């Protein structure tokens, strides 16, 4: 069985939750993989639902070597779209490529935006899925071609990307809210079930980069904060 704690997270070996929120882990899916997929797989499926990538479209996925990013690549690829992945290290870029990104670019290097434009034939991307905010988030928005879509789903730098409706309209870019990913709690629960089913069927492969015993949760957070964690980080009871 797997469940979320309702959005607040938690560090415990036992937790009381609404029985309706408990999801059986399907045959063929390991417990750790289920844990790695439950939240991040649901998020990836929700983002893809919101931006609806079309076959042949270029989709920019930031933080591509993280838990959500490495799954989002797979969902977007399955829709027939092409992925430009961005991340901060060779290990994360290698993971993104292994999970299906066609192009992988280090966004800590100067000129990375030019490399994204070159990869897309100069036009920019049809969709940007942004998880960093700050300067990288702004640059990602500017890489969306006219007529494209932009979704911000995270704030790795500490602030979400801020784009005004007027600015987006001027650039003919649609700002897709995260509310479009999960229009209701029922849809969110359906997506959790779907994420586990996709994992069992081999359509979604989580990347569990590191495991820490529960009593070393602080070290897990330190690794995430230092940006050395690859894919999903698990705490093991």
Ligand X SMILES: NC(=O)c1ccc[n+]([C@@H]2O[C@H](COP(=O)([O-])OP(=O)(O)OC[C@H]3O[C@@H](n4cnc5c(N)ncnc54)[C@H](OP(=O)(O)O)[C@@H]3O)[C@@H](O)[C@H]2O)c1
List interacting residues with ligand X (CB under 6 A). 39-40, 43, 63, 65-69, 87-88, 92, 131-132, 153-157, 178, 224-225, 227
The residue (of 168 and 178) whose beta carbon lies closer to ligand X is: 178
What is the rounded distance in angstroms from the CA atom of residue 166 to the CA atom of residue 155?
A: 22
Smallest gap from Cβ 157 to ligand X, in A, equals 5
What is the rounded distance in angstroms from the CA atom of residue 133 to the CA atom of residue 106?
A: 16
Alpha helix ranges (H) inside the chain: 31-51, 67-78, 90-98, 112-119, 134-142, 165-170, 185-200, 217-225
Residues 199 and 206: beta-carbon distance below 8 Å: yes
Residues 82 and 97: beta-carbon distance below 8 Å: no
The residue (of 53 and 65) whose beta carbon lies closer to ligand X is: 65
The residue (of 58 and 153) whose beta carbon lies closer to ligand X is: 153
Smallest gap from Cβ 122 to ligand X, in A, equals 25
The residue (of 68 and 84) whose beta carbon lies closer to ligand X is: 68
Smallest gap from Cβ 97 to ligand X, in A, equals 13
Smallest gap from Cβ 34 to ligand X, in A, equals 16
């Amino acid at each position: 069985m797997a469940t979320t704690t309702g959005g607040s997270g938690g560090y415990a070996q036992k937790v009381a939750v609404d029985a309706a929120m408990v999801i059986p882990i399907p045959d063929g899916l390991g417990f750790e993989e289920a844990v790695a997929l439950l939240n991040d797989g649901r998020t990836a499926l929700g983002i893809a639902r919101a931006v609806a990538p079309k076959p042949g479209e270029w989709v920019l996925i930031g933080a591509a070597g993280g838990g959500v990013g490495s799954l989002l690549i797979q969902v977007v690829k399955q829709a027939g779209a092409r992925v430009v992945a961005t991340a901060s290290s060779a290990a994360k870029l290698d993971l993104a490529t292994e999970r299906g990104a066609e192009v992988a670019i280090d966004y800590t290097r100067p000129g990375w935006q030019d490399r994204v434009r070159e990869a897309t034939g100069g036009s920019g991307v049809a969709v940007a899925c942004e998880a960093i905010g700050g300067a990288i988030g702004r640059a990602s928005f500017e890489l969306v071609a006219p007529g494209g879509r932009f979704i911000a789903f995270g704030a790795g730098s500490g602030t979400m990307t801020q784009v005004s409706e007027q600015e987006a309209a001027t650039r003919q870019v649609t700002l897709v809210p995260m509310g479009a990913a999960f229009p209701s709690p029922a849809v969110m629960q359906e997506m959790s079930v779907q994420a586990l089913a996709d994992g069992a069927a081999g359509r979604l492969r989580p990347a569990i980069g590191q495991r820490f015993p529960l009593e070393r949760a602080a070290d897990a957070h330190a690794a995430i904060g230092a940006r050395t964690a690859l894919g999903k980080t698990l705490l093991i009871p």
